[in-house]
């Protein structure tokens, strides 16, 4: 029990410090995620905290779960009107925009670091996506106002570019680990099939979930749990079917659910 309580104490302390850091972020105009990374570095083995953590399985488990929930929440908070205004430009930016950004940065990284082109492209793919939360925080603190179309495009694009960046990272890692099995046609097919299957499953599952919620009568606090469990089901099932689970739980499922007139108290509880 001592070890468990010590773990709870450590987790609570790190979360407490990270939340307090948000006030510093607002005053300095820095992205909140940058301060979160700083807290993690200070708590790590190379910082004064000295915490040693090298369990890649747990790190992958927590990060995938957290990203799935973040994408689901962000999609559900996006208004249907935003999809109607900015879906087309956002879809182009989230696919070809990420590929173009990763390609140009990959060429530069390969030349600058003098490494194998696959490693240079991998480094570029890792940083190829954008984070709308960080962008909005900077714009809000600077007082800059965006028109509705630009803001909607950024909002939707940020929820769809992460799946594309993840697929590029996975494809490039496979090319590095198994170069004899990798081919341009195989990588292209993987991207198209996973994105297409993720979008299709997300649309269908989101519509089914919204219809189910319209027919159920639950305590108000249980709707959020139902959406969370439904989102995790969509995420896991899509991954098992070799689709993009991250794409499925972001804008396809969210657009399908919100378009079916799900009450705001249900989708954003």
Question: What would you report as the CA-atom Rg of the chain, rounded to the nearest whole angstrom?
Answer: 20
Closest CA to 39 of 27, 30, 48: 48
Q: What are the start-end ranges of the H helices in the chain? A: 2-28, 32-43, 56-76, 80-92, 98-113, 117-126, 132-142, 148-177, 184-215, 220-240, 245-249, 251-259, 264-267
pLDDT band for position 261 (50/70/90)? very low
User: pTM, whole model, 2 decimals?
Assistant: 0.73
> Contact, 266 vs 220, CB < 8 A?
no
pLDDT above 70 covers what percent of the chain? 80
What mean pLDDT, rounded, does the chain reach?
77
Structure tokens, 203: 């649309």
Residue 58 and residue 40: Cα distance in Å, rounded? 16
Closest CA to 257 of 221, 231, 236, 229: 231
pLDDT band for position 263 (50/70/90)? very low
pLDDT value of position 266: 45
Closest CA to 250 of 94, 100, 125: 94
Q: What is the DSSP letter of 5?
A: H
Which residues face 44 on adjacent strands? 51
pLDDT value of position 38: 82
pLDDT band for position 111 (50/70/90)? very high
Chain centre distance of CA 83: 18
Residue 25 and residue 138: Cα distance in Å, rounded? 9
Residues 6+ apart with CB under 8 A from 189: none
> Contact, 244 vs 195, CB < 8 A?
yes
pLDDT value of position 141: 61
pLDDT (average), residues 97-125: 89
Structure tokens, 91: 């879809």
Mean pLDDT comparison of 129-143, 152-166, 196-210, highest-scoring range: 196-210
């Amino acid at each position: 029990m001592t070890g468990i309580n010590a773990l709870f104490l450590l987790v609570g302390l790190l979360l407490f410090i990270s939340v307090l850091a948000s006030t510093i972020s607002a005053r300095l105009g820095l992205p909140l995620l940058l301060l979160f990374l700083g807290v993690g570095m200070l708590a790590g083995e190379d910082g004064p905290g000295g915490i040693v953590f090298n369990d890649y399985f747990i790190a992958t488990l927590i990060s995938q779960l957290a990203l799935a929930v973040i994408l689901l929440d962000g999609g559900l908070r996006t208004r249907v009107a935003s999809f109607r205004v900015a879906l087309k430009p956002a879809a182009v930016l989230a696919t070809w925009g990420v590929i173009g950004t990763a390609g140009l940065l990959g060429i530069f990284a390969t030349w600058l670091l003098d490494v194998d082109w696959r490693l240079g492209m991998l480094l570029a793919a890792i940083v190829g996506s954008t984070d709308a939360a960080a962008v909005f925080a900077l714009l809000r603190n600077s007082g800059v106002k965006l028109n509705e179309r630009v803001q909607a495009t950024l909002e939707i694009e940020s929820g769809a570019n992460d799946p594309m960046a993840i697929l590029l990272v996975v494809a490039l890692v496979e090319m590095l680990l198994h170069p004899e099995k990798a081919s341009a046609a195989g990588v292209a097919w993987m991207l198209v099939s996973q994105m297409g299957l993720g979008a299709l499953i997300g649309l269908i599952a989101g519509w089914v979930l919204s219809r189910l919620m319209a027919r159920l009568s639950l305590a108000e606090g249980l709707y959020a749990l139902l959406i969370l469990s439904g989102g995790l089901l969509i995420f896991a099932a899509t991954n098992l079917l070799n689709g993009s689970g991250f794409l499925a739980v972001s804008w396809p499922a969210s657009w399908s659910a919100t378009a079916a007139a799900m009450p705001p108290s249900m989708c954003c509880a």
